[in-house]
Amino acid sequence: MEAIECIKGGKTALGIELGSTRIKSVLVDLQGNVLATGIHDWENAYVDNIWTYSQEEIHIGIRRCYTSLRENVEKKYGVTLTQIGSMGISAMMHGYIALDKEGNQLAPFQTWRNTNTQKAADKLTELFDFNIPLRWSVAHLYQRILDGETHVKKLDSVFTLSAYIHWKLTGEKVIGIGDAAGMFPIDSTIHDYDQFMMDQFNALISKYGFSWRTEELFPKVLVAGNIAGRLTEEGAAFLDETGALQPGIPLCPPEGDAGTGMTATNSVAPGTGNVSAGTSTFAMIVLEHQLEVLHREIDMVTTPTGFPCAMSHANNGTSDLNAWVNLFGEFAKLMGIQTDQGELFQKLYTHSLQGEQDCGGLLSYGYYSGENITMINEGRLAFLRMPDSRFDLANFMKVHLYTSLGAVKLGLDILMKEEQVKVHRITGHGGFFKTKGVGQRYLAAAVEAPVTVMDTASEGGAWGIALLAAYMMDRREQEKLEEYLENRIFAGLSGETIIPQKEEIAGFQTFMERYKMGLAVEKAAINQMNW
């Protein structure tokens, strides 16, 4: 009855996150307890050498996700969802959505997975003396200019996916500071785009004679706790095709999946860190101040409240691993064995624990797309072994789990060993950790430190953006986000911590030595495999 009264009274917060393979919605009460969820599975397409989702897929996907949530509420509580206390939208960070003055899409949506911006990213990194990753919005914008794409002259807005959906729902051209940090460098002292660098960029492109300035294209930057607009009548109709959902709901600033991952793991204060592992894998370490040295392998972004944050972002995570598990499922079906997908993952992941600590000399690269950290701009999938490698199922599964962390490990080594960044807590979340005690153990060996996975880890970034919406609605006077999470959300939650053993650390180190040596094979594959 308490949950029903919360839903009827609108004492709830809704978070929707558009991830790479799933759109998920989570409805919570103001204590962060999950009341209902909704999902819609989707997948990016590779069209004309671009990783993308069509505008129609985006619109249909978020509606179906909300419909799934609404139906879940009706089934569980017998209540029609008409009012919600607050909402928030999250999505995969970075990328490029280009619109004209009428809101028409001018070019295909370029997701974070695209690495077709090398020339632009190199030039901007040199100009700013600040690392500009290939997937950042400004790199995409400048590359479109360098390539002479005619749509650039017609630009009125450049969005990330979260800011685009937020605009569709509210009419407000705004963005959370964490997601904004995937568009353009942020000055954490003023919680806005870095004005000096913005002036540099505008001067760089002035010769093209565009009628716009870059700061006019990009959404306004907001921090967590701000009201970022309200659901319009058009937005309500866009989201809920039944017409039951009422307009007027306040929305928090739209955030990227990095910011919501930090929130969902209580990793928003300096000295905390988290690793999100799924289709992509990224590690976030919250800093007291910016790094002094430029590293092309490390992105400098922010928390949802603007603290500087160092990110080791790998474009490739578990996609290849999932493909192998699906192949084993296909084999089981061929043999007349009925298998549940979840059970198949659980059994194969758990069986990997019987493998040797160094994976028996096996090596793999799940590079569906280019990888910024290893400076490889195209994807080739590879599985390698020596004649004397111990080729069995346990080692095979273990090496594919290990390699999901391979690239991100290189970035973490820079932070922890070269920069001597101190972290007192690392939390893992994402599908990689769903099988208890497996991915978590391998991450602990990779980071050479204890790793905690909370009981709420499976709720992911959708829960994180719901918490940011709840914080906006229910924060106490002068209450910081880190205080709100520590004292009011996570105080009563439990999790499990794994401390790595010396032999596990040594085994992962041996794997990483082979991983670095084998990159030459990956590069050769790109040169030779062009069919």
- For the stretch 156-196, pLDDT in tens is 999 999 999 999 999 999 999 999 999 999 999 999 999 99
Contact 174, 160 (CB under 8 A): no
pLDDT, residue 390, reads 97
The tens digit of pLDDT for each residue in 245-264 reads 999 999 999 999 999 999 99
Q: What angle do CA 445, 448, 454 make, to 5 degrees?
A: 75
Segment 65-84 mean pLDDT: 96
**Mean pLDDT of all residues in 448-463:** 84
Identify the band that residue 458 occupies on the pLDDT scale cut at 50, 70 and 90: low
pTM: 0.86
Distance CA 528, CA 121 (A): 26
Q: Are 84 and 12 in contact (CB under 8 A)?
A: yes
- Which amino acid belongs to residue 40? H
Six-digit token pair at 236? 């309500």
| Dist. CA 158–CA 214, nearest whole Å | 9
Domain range annotation of the chain: 319-403+503-528
pLDDT at 288 over 90: no
Per-residue CA distances from 199 to 210, 215, 289 (Å): 15, 9, 23
pLDDT of residue 492: 78
pLDDT given for residue 40 in this prediction: 97
Beta bridge partners of 381: 366
Distance, CA of 522 to CA of 367 (rounded, Å) = 9
**pLDDT at residue 457 in the model:** 67
Res 1: pLDDT = 60
